C-alpha cells in the first residue's frame, strides 16, 4: 500500500463539474493498493498517517499531527501509484490490486481514518479533478512495505 500525503490549507474534488468534497487545513492523500496488500497494511498506514507530525508548532518546527490541529483528510484512490514504467513507455498496472478488492480496501481505509480524523473521499473509479493548495509545500510518500 502506498500513500502520497500532501499537507494542504485547502483541497477539493470535482466530478461532472460538481464539487463533491472539500476540506480546509489537513491532508490530501492519494492512496494506492498493491496486489499483495492485507489488512495489516491498512492498519499500519492509518496509524502512521494520524500520528505523522508535519504541522508546525509555536517554534515553527514540524511537531504537530493532524490530530493536534484538528484537521481533516481528503482521500483519493489512485491505482496509478503502482505504475510500472520499466519496460516501454506505456505503464503497466499489474502490481495494483484488482478493482473490487481495492474498492473494499479503500472504503475500509477511509472508515478507519474517519474514526480518528474527519475523512472525506473521492468517487472510487471516477474521473475526478483535484484542486489543492499544498501548504509548505510538504509532501510525504509512505509505502507500507518499506
Distance between CA atoms of residues 68 and 7, nearest Å? 14
Residues in the chain: 146
CATH number at residue 130: 3.50.80.10
Is the pTM higher than 0.85? The answer reads: yes
- Which residue in the list 27, 79, 109, 120 is annotated as catalytic? 79
Active site residue 80: yes
The domain of 81 spans 2-143
Catalytic residue among 6, 33, 78, 120: 78
Q: How many domains does the chain have?
A: 1
What sections of the chain are H helices per DSSP? 39-51, 66-69, 99-114
Identify the band that residue 144 occupies on the pLDDT scale cut at 50, 70 and 90.
very high
Burial 64-77 (b: 16+ CB within 10 A, else e): bbbeeeebbbbbbb
Provide the pLDDT confidence category of residue 88 given band limits of 50, 70 and 90. confident
Q: Is 79 among the residues known to form the active site? A: yes
Cis peptide preceding 137, ω within 30 of 0: yes
Report pLDDT for 126. Answer: 84
What average pLDDT does the segment 64-92 reach?
93
**113-118 LR contacts (CB < 8 Å, sep 24+):** 113/46, 113/49, 113/50, 113/73, 113/75, 116/46, 116/50, 116/67, 117/26, 117/50, 117/66, 117/67, 117/71, 117/72, 117/73, 118/23, 118/72, 118/73
Q: Which of 38, 80, 129, 139 is catalytic?
A: 80
Cα 80 to Cα 67: distance, rounded to the nearest angstrom? 29
Predicted confidence (pLDDT) at residue 26 exceeds the cutoff of 90:
yes
Amino acid at each position: 500500500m502506498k500513500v502520497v500525503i500532501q499537507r494542504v490549507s485547502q483541497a477539493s474534488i470535482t466530478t461532472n463539474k460538481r464539487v463533491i468534497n472539500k476540506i480546509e487545513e489537513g491532508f490530501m492523500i492519494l492512496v494506492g493498493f498493491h496486489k499483495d496488500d492485507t489488512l495489516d497494511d491498512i492498519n499500519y498506514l492509518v496509524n502512521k498517517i494520524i500520528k505523522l507530525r508535519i504541522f508546525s508548532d509555536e517554534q515553527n518546527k514540524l511537531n504537530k499531527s493532524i490530530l493536534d490541529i484538528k484537521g481533516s483528510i481528503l482521500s483519493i484512490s489512485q491505482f496509478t501509484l503502482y505504475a510500472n514504467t520499466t519496460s516501454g513507455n506505456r505503464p503497466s498496472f499489474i502490481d495494483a490490486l484488482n478493482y473490487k478488492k481495492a474498492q473494499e480496501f479503500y472504503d475500509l481505509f477511509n472508515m478507519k481514518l474517519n474514526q480518528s480524523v474527519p475523512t472525506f473521499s473521492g468517487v472510487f473509479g471516477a474521473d475526478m479533478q483535484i484542486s489543492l493548495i499544498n501548504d509548505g509545500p510538504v509532501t510525504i510518500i509512505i509505502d507500507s512495505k518499506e
